[in-house]
Structure 1
């Protein structure tokens, strides 16, 4: 068989996705903070784009924008230097007013440098500090560390005690018991019963009060008082440092209910950034430029700005359509509470609003809704379904969890419900559920087992002479 090059014509159809469609998909799945950050980057690259509004919009930024506009009007030829990265961002933003965060390493080294004079001791202290994890614990073997540094074990331990005396109290501990004991010693609460309790934290985790009472030499009320003192401590002192600032979740949708029960849905335009196109600036600059490259740049900038503004509007309308349909499907939840939440899937919403299921998934990602019952993520309203014993009706998983929580909260100390008893109760109410499903939902809600709940809810005698016995 002879192989040789050949030319031929072939006609076929193919589906291609444009850059504008890709941008539209990306914008839809962005949350408010990610969207605003993306638009600010686009504004830096495109001189025709103005970003207004948004969660982090401050008066200082408006003043900066007016300053840039004044510069353009006074010096129109200066606009030929395209693009100028960072224009309009010279004024301080809200992030520049956030307190500078000091790392745990820097905080401890600053202290040990003042407490230790010998260079060898400072070297040991720095090795200890560098070995701490995010919680502030020293997880490495101290004997191995001393051998690697070539120092006696007693000298290493002395430096370790110095590091443990630094703030925050409890840092450089080798285990939880040592961390708690360091904090209790500082408060002058490290009594003999407390030492016994710290040596048996496993019994406290299992809530074996009677066994702890025998070990600590106090009664049940005394054990509860010791446990109360432990709850006041910080088991992870290192987390006070090196923590990223939390980004506040802001609602994208507002839902209000009138006196007659009618629900209204609206976009929260205060947190949604908008894109404005500076057409006056475009006309003024286009009339002054002569080069082909500059003209092409302005044409591309205008086209990209138009596409971006159109995609932002389309994003807002898609989110509003999806949110409105969610409120319509889950209207009973807003009127009567979590027990009335219905089974709902992305496919159900997609069929109603005539969108693809993946588009609905992007529209609800990282979006929040403010309702008369609080703020919820849009994904909260999508729950799986459970069948009922008689009939074809379905119940949402969230409704079943809510009912399990109600049963556990209402149980008496003398009549704790097991998973089997909860299953029997739900089946008597018409909910078809298995015992292992009850156990799974209970664990998801962080509800202890029936044996542990029985110990937790058991009444304890009150002892007036505990503190004297503990001392």
Structure 2
């Protein structure tokens, strides 16, 4: 026999942790699934209520007492009314479906839930008519498949062609190696290559290429411009990216005027031929928290009601079906549905409170950023926020994942406000890595063609500004900003100056 201690995570606790790290869209999908599975859950379609920290009209000031008030959302009526906690019966005025059918008469049609259930089957109600669902953007695969049917009559080649088309991504490139497609179909690589050449001749020009060089080569062949000099240029695109025109002239065997024309022609080509067709829909970032400046200089912090699912537990329906339960299995199912519904509404409430609590502390810690800009962003880590609000670091990490806040400076992921500290020279306060990265970009943007800053020069200027940083750190930050080296920048600026003349 052995005695010990262990932590047991209940399904309800696991659900609360899962909800905490879900994004807005993931949470909506999860709630939609629960609404389908649980007959006791109902969506609250009432008017939106503003979610504000307790203390209604007053701003959320940047002091500990006011931020402590922000931990409670709105009033008990506002928050619980939206999330459904503690509501007994909110559907008393609604007749049961069977009663509605009898009231409407035996000849009336049943109301079917789904796309048109709430509209009574009308195609004309609402902001968009029925015809809005009849059109869709033509996808690249559909466009290529239509051309394949016209260009290829052999059944085997059509099968190979459709597999190749399915492997084309949204940018128009072949995302799967030809050898893998050939192995999956059980045919020779040469046969797949032959069909690939047919597909590469389809519109748009350059589609189904395996890399950028092949994509540009296809487009140049269509224009009858793929001569030996242009072949050498396409084979050395890395020199084009570096603007090393001297090396390009030697490789291609042309003069200054010809190389300028050839590079200009390359730039007029489309490196992503598939982007003109309907691909996967871009997801719009919906902020979870609104940050607004108050007249007295403090900050108003609101939760976005559009990101908070509003669920209610239909206690009336629960009482009705509980009385009608005929055996233990049905009673157990009803009890489980009630428990799940109550836990879900409580978890959603706790999730909203935790998001507001973490966002409030982030605003308090990064007050300089919201007031003056990125140069005043302070070093911050998860432990600092966790200690301030009395939570674990893992909880703060889940809350800040895939959550966004919006302010006068734009929309930012909550993770953006956590950055490493860069030491200051002397006894000054440490600087945020993100603020230092911004300073580096600012200095490079302001440099002139005759005075391009090397990494060592940037280190010297930063140290003069009170930032103690190593050269390798400057190089790492510059590369993360996709800024080329000083030699490449000097070559690019000189080339641009010549072209302007």
TM-score grouping bracket, smaller chain normalisation: 0.7 to 0.9
Change (3 A) 1:92 1:406: farther
For the 8 Å contact 1:136–1:239, the answer to whether it is kept is no
Q: How far apart are the structure 1 equivalents of 2:412 and 2:498?
A: 42
Q: How far apart are the structure 2 equivalents of 1:164 and 1:158?
A: 10
Shift of 1:442: 0.8
Corresponding residue for 1:72? 97
1:12-41 deviation digits (Å, cap 9, x = unpaired): 655433222221111111111111111111
Change (3 A) 1:33 1:463: closer
2:69 pairs with 1:50: no
Q: How far apart are the structure 2 equivalents of 1:266 and 1:392?
A: 34
Change (3 A) 1:311 1:127: closer
Shift of 1:50: 1.5
Where do 5+ consecutive residues of structure 1 fail to align? 1-7, 55-65, 78-86, 465-471
TM-score, reference length from structure 2: 0.74
TM-score, reference length from structure 1: 0.78
Corresponding residue for 1:422? 458
Corresponding residue for 2:144? 108
**Please, which of 380, 383, 401 is the counterpart of residue 437 of structure 2?**
401
Change (3 A) 1:340 1:150: closer
Corresponding residue for 1:338? 374
Residue aligned with 1:266, SS: strand
Q: How far apart are the structure 2 equivalents of 1:300 and 1:127?
A: 47
- What are the residue-to-residue correspondences of 1:41-440 with 2, within 5 Å? 41-52=33-44, 72=97, 74=99, 88-91=113-116, 97=133, 107-117=143-153, 135-137=172-174, 140=178, 161-173=197-209, 176-186=212-222, 194-195=230-231, 197-213=233-249, 215=252, 217-219=254-256, 223-237=259-273, 243-391=279-427, 393-440=429-476
Q: How far apart are the structure 1 equivalents of 2:439 and 2:188?
A: 62
Q: How far apart are the structure 2 equivalents of 1:380 and 1:40?
A: 30
Q: How far apart are the structure 2 equivalents of 1:149 and 1:292?
A: 60
For the 8 Å contact 2:28–2:309, the answer to whether it is kept is yes
Shift of 1:203: 2.1
1:373-414 deviation digits (Å, cap 9, x = unpaired): 000000000111011110052111011101111111111111
Q: How far apart are the structure 1 equivalents of 2:134 and 2:442?
A: 42
Deviates more, 1:380-389 or 1:209-218: 209-218
Shift of 1:297: 2.3
Residue aligned with 2:43, SS: strand
Where do 5+ consecutive residues of structure 2 fail to align? 47-90, 103-111, 119-127
Q: How far apart are the structure 1 equivalents of 2:42 and 2:166?
A: 46
Change (3 A) 1:12 1:219: closer
For the 8 Å contact 1:131–1:140, the answer to whether it is kept is no
Q: How far apart are the structure 2 equivalents of 1:413 and 1:363?
A: 45
Q: How far apart are the structure 1 equivalents of 2:477 and 2:499?
A: 35
1:263-286 deviation digits (Å, cap 9, x = unpaired): 111100122212211122222333
1:147-179 deviation digits (Å, cap 9, x = unpaired): x9689x8x9987655432212211244653342
1:220-276 deviation digits (Å, cap 9, x = unpaired): 6x6455434423433343566795333222100000113443211110012221221
Change (3 A) 1:402 1:98: farther
By relative contact order (CA 8 Å, sep 6+), the higher-ranking structure is 2
Q: How far apart are the structure 2 equivalents of 1:370 and 1:329?
A: 16
Residue aligned with 2:306, SS: coil
Change (3 A) 1:127 1:353: closer
Residue aligned with 1:50, SS: strand
**Please, which of 455, 458, 461 is the counterpart of residue 498 of structure 2?**
461
Q: How far apart are the structure 2 equivalents of 1:105 and 1:345?
A: 45
Residue aligned with 1:264, SS: strand
Shift of 1:204: 0.9
Q: How far apart are the structure 1 equivalents of 2:413 and 2:407?
A: 11
The size of the alignment, in residue pairs, is: 426
Change (3 A) 1:327 1:127: closer
Deviates more, 1:308-317 or 1:198-207: 198-207
Residue aligned with 1:415, SS: coil
For the 8 Å contact 1:53–1:273, the answer to whether it is kept is no
For the 8 Å contact 2:196–2:208, the answer to whether it is kept is yes
Corresponding residue for 2:17? 25
Change (3 A) 1:112 1:92: farther
Q: How far apart are the structure 2 equivalents of 1:363 and 1:156?
A: 48
Corresponding residue for 2:121? none
Change (3 A) 1:218 1:71: farther
